[in-house]
Amino acid sequence: IHPSTPLSGPLNAGDYRERDVLRLLASGLPDSFDVFHNLPWSSIHQGTQHFGELDLVVISPVGHILLIEVKAGAINEGASSLTKTYGGIGGDKDISHQVRRQHSTLMQRMRDGDMPQVSVGTLLVLPDHAVQSAVLAYPRERIVDAPEMDTLCQQIMGTFPSSIPSVEVRSQVIDFFSNRFHVVTDVSTNITQVQQLTTSLASGLATWVPKIAHTGNLFVIQATAGSGKTQLALKLLQDAVKAKQRCCYVCYNRPLADHLTKLAPAAVEVTTFHQLCRDLAERNGKKLDFSAPDVFAKMESDYVDASEGFNKSIDLLIIDESQDFEPTWAQAVLERLKDTGRLYVMGDTGQQLYERETFDLTDAVHFTCLDNFRSPTKIVQIINRLGLTPEPIEARSVHIGAAPHFYTWAPNQLNSRTALDQCLMKLWVDGYKPEQVAVIS
């Protein structure tokens, strides 16, 4: 019985009779049946929303539906209709019309809900009235009147068809009448919200680091991924451009440079160290053969050798991804900075990919930040448990996230592609789109 307890509220004579019928069903129908009572319903017809209530709904063991309309008290039997007289402005109501409307509405909802194989029947129960004659508007065999109330449950069980829908249909029908929605997370919306919150929370470095002044104008920021280094760089560059200062941002990886180019003011020089090397070589008329194994080493060496003659024209210099810079590279880039210019060196030893020598700047102000605002909490927990960083990271994201899934395979069992397909299928089911997923080999 759904709900298992009667609904509270003012009761009239009709409500009590409906409860009497409900008790009959509770005691007389097998446990494999489900009964819903006092169900409000709503539908849209020609742009207008209609409302009503279903007295009783019986669900068979295989998922077929029987709508039961209970009419207590006296019933008017006309030549072609059955009506019930209500006091007040309601007047006489055509019972058969009411039942047909409920039936057609529910049939349409079943079709819309991909459950067309479900049978929807109707039964009119008149606990206080004995039907005298058949009427055109409603079949006599689908009416249980007062003399037949003792056989109500038997007649209900006899109304259902013998067809058997698919196994999952019954649970769908139960969910439908229980008003249980099947929902999944809108991943795109969730990602946008997380990004906005992450940007807001990670603004700490960008808020207070630029306010710190130092006579040496040298600042070293050692901060973990997701701590807000990029926001800090953008803030410094934006402020410098507003002050009509010449500024340059140099990093190691091209994708980061391309990303920052889209965000930084147009007047900012955004580049990579190797792009600086290439630009210098081409300005000097050298033709570079990138198929040669030593082409990059030669470019790097030439740039370092030429750095002593660089024009000191930069007011603000930012070196990002410093963990991947050789000390000589950083010193060569630094030769472009004015004597009164400011230098910010940003890095993260936890992201170091190459065995480079570390370098330090004398008299620099050092900042250390191990707060990760970007990665979900559960990801950070895994990073710490596996010891993937020199020091534990602090999880600061508002997004808890899901624990990582590890897909492994063994010879003669699965191959890497099969395991990858399993992983991707789970992501598609969870609502992720291909453009939101990266596969790294």
> For residue 152, what are the contacts with CB-CB under 8 A and spacing of at least 6?
21, 24, 25, 28, 125, 144
Delineate the domains of the chain, giving CATH numbers in brackets.
13-177 (3.40.1350), 203-372 (3.40.50.300), 405-441 (no CATH)
Which residues of the chain register pLDDT less than 70?
A: 6-11, 87-91, 183-191, 194, 198-202, 412-414
Residue whose C-alpha is closest to residue 204's, from 229, 187, 222, 237: 229
SS3 content of the chain, % helix, strand, coil (to 5): 40, 20, 40
> For residue 195, what are the contacts with CB-CB under 8 A and spacing of at least 6?
none
pLDDT of the residue at 237:
97
pLDDT of the residue at 270:
98
CA–CA separation, 351 and 37 (whole Å): 62
- The pTM assigned to this predicted structure is 0.59
Tokens of 252: 């190691």
pLDDT of the residue at 188:
65
Which residue do the tokens 């930012």 mark? 318
